[in-house]
């Protein structure tokens, strides 16, 4: 059974930092692309960041302006999001979401087929 | 950047009726990489449709997707009580990936 479990959320002051983790199980983690998606309270979904299966290709939403860093540890089946210089508008539930299967140089996109339950980040003084 | 605009914002229908949800892209989604998700309160989104028209595993056949270029549609043929939720379209064709703002499907 595919499982994605996020952790690391919590209350942080403006300007502070937080590191989110996503622990994966039930599949070969190193074969898949991953993403972070967030949802502010009562709002829609916002894509945050992407990382390829090897970690060699990374994308970010323009709005983040270099404050967030995505990474992964394929040996530990884990995905991370380092968030710095946090602002009130970063308050949201953060989801990790599995993307395309990557085998060698070939990618097989199928949307974001599995999501974690989310972890809440609250930025407030 | 591809901006996705969903319509209507809210759709009020009764169980048994059919629903048509629209998603318009600001530029062509060239590789059919358009997906639809369902989200219920307090839950993570669930993938319904990927690659414009392919149903995800375990999704009933009353859900179907269609479209090309800039215009995409999610159709639910006969609404069941569990179908009332918020639906999002999503393009994973080019970075930055993006989601529509959502359509809330509510019971009339």
Nearest to B44 among A44, A59, A95 (CB): A95
Confidence band of B29 (pLDDT split at 50, 70, 90): confident
DSSP labels for A6-66?
EE--EEE-TT--EEEEEEEESS-GGGEEEEEEEE-TTS-EEEEEEE-SSS--EEE-GGGTT
Task: Say whether B95 and A46 touch across the interface (CB within 8 A).
Answer: no
Class of residue A33 by CB neighbours under 10 A (exposed 0-12, middle 13-18, buried 19+): buried
pLDDT at A49 over 80: yes
Is the pLDDT confidence value at B86 over 80? Answer: yes
Phi-psi region of A15 (alpha: psi -120 to 50; beta: other; left: phi over 0): left
Judging contacts by C-beta atoms under 8 Å, the chain B residues touching residue A99 are 92
Confidence of residue A67 (pLDDT cuts 50, 70, 90): very high
**Minimum mean pLDDT range among A5-9, A64-68, B59-63:** A64-68
Q: Which residue of B has its CA nearest to A120?
A: B42
Q: Which of B1, B95, B102 sits opposite A44 (nearest CB)?
A: B102
pLDDT in tens, B3-25: 999 999 999 999 999 999 999 99
For residues A66 and A86, which has the higher predicted lDDT (pLDDT)? A86
Residue A105 — pLDDT band, cuts 50, 70, 90? confident
CB contact under 8 A, A47 and B98: yes
**pLDDT at residue B31 greater than cutoff 80:** no
Determine the pLDDT at residue B16.
96
The mean pLDDT of chain B is 96
- Quickly state the pLDDT bin for A65 (edges 50, 70, 90): confident
Question: Which pLDDT belongs to residue A33?
Answer: 96
**Rounded Cα distance, B31 and B23, in Å:** 16
- Test B37 with A112 for CB contact under 8 angstroms: yes
| Residue B30: band (very low, low, confident or very high) from pLDDT cuts 50, 70, 90 | confident
**Cβ within 8 Å, pair A44-B88:** yes
pLDDT score recorded for residue A104: 84
- What residue of A is the nearest CA neighbor of B48? A113
Confidence grade of residue A14 (pLDDT, cut at 50, 70, 90): very high
B96·A59 Cβ contact <8 A: yes
Specify the pLDDT at position B32: 86
The reported pLDDT for the residue numbered A107 is 87
By mean pLDDT, which of A115-119, B28-32, B68-72 is the weakest?
B28-32
Chain A residues with a Cβ under 8 Å from any Cβ in chain B = 35, 37, 44-47, 50, 59-62, 95, 99-100, 109-118
Number of Cα atoms under 13 Å in the Cβ half of residue A59: 18
CA-to-CA distance for B84 and A105, rounded, in angstroms?
40
Is the Cβ of B107 closer than 8 Å to some Cβ of chain A? Answer: no
Q: Which residues of B touch A60 (CB under 8 A)?
A: 96
């Amino acid at each position: 059974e595919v499982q994605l479990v996020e952790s690391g959320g919590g209350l942080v002051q403006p300007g502070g930092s937080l590191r989110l983790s996503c622990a994966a199980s039930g599949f070969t983690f190193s074969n898949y692309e991953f993403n972070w998606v967030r949802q502010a309270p009562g709002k829609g979904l916002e894509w945050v960041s992407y990382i390829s299966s090897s970690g060699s290709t990374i994308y970010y939403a323009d709005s983040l302006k270099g404050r967030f860093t995505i990474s992964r540890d394929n040996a530990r089946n884990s995905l991370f999001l380092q968030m710095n210089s946090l602002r009130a508008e970063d308050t949201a539930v953060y989801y990790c979401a599995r993307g395309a299967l990557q085998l060698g140089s070939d990618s097989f996109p199928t949307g974001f087929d599995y999501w974690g339950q989310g972890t809440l980040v609250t930025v407030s003084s | 950047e591809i901006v996705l605009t969903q319509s209507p914002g809210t759709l009020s229908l009764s169980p048994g009726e059919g629903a048509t949800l629209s998603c318009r892209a600001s530029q062509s989604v060239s590789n059919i990489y358009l997906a639809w998700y369902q989200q219920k309160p307090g839950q993570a989104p669930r993938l319904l449709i990927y690659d414009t028209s392919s149903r995800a595993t375990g999704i009933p056949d009353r859900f179907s997707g269609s479209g090309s270029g800039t215009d995409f549609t999610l159709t639910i043929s006969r609404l069941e009580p569990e179908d009332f939720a918020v639906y999002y379209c999503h393009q994973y064709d080019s970075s930055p990936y993006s989601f529509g703002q959502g359509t809330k499907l509510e019971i009339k």
